[in-house]
Amino acid sequence: MSDAALLAQRIVVALDAPTEEQNLALIAALEGRAVHYKVGMRAFYGGASRTLRAISSAGASLFLDLKLHDIPKTVESAARVLAVHQPALLTVHASGGPAMVRAALEGLADGGATATRVLGVTVLTSMNSGAVQALGWGDDVGAVVQRLAGLAIEGGAHGLVCSGRESAMIRTRWPDVLRVVPGIRPPGGAMDDQARVLTPGAALAAGADLLVIGRPLWQSSDPEAAWDKLVSGGA
């Protein structure tokens, strides 16, 4: 498989556009190209029924990025409800602790989504050392990511969400967990509200399994051309 084909298989398209119509247009534009789509809080809470159907019709996998974070019983109940969508991936905040992660897994199983893999979100890619220090977590982002990753894995998480800057460390310590990396930008691309970003090629080299890419695609006037540029030269 060529490098471009490999990268295309690793990209998760973040459907974070302001309206469902824009997200639907992006799915249509990338038909035959994208194989994974992420539906986050804005899209899901705004009403994403048509988007979810379009993803299914395209034969693509669904990543529900809802970052569940509550007491274990509430997370279990929420995961049971979300199981109806049969997502390939579902996120929970690792800072909720191992019991909360286990509760999400139990809720999914009870709801019949036994194939869904739970991802523990470590430190958001919008946060830098000052931001984690303000939370009382210390100022070493890598150490915080490692600590939260350990909690998620203790609870049974199948994978982790971290920035590309920490994915090599995750790969070294937990080589078998799925590493999902947001905050991906093409070479020379704007950082926007992200603090810890990498290019697609750099993230893959650092050990990322899946790359979450949103703005470079949905903000483009030509998503197909933007996609082709990413997969052919996104070093």
Please identify every residue annotated as catalytic: 67
Residue type, 92: V
Residue type, 226: A
Residue 188 belongs to what H/E stretch? none
Which runs of E-coded beta strand occur in the chain? 11-14, 36-40, 61-68, 89-93, 117-121, 159-161, 178-181, 210-213
Q: Rounded to an integer, what distance in angstroms lies between the CA atom of residue 230 and that of residue 77?
A: 39
CA dihedral 175, 177, 182, 187 (to 10 degrees): 30
Instruction: Please return the burial class of 5, using the count of CB atoms within 10 Å of its CB with bins 0-12, 13-18 and 19+.
Output: exposed
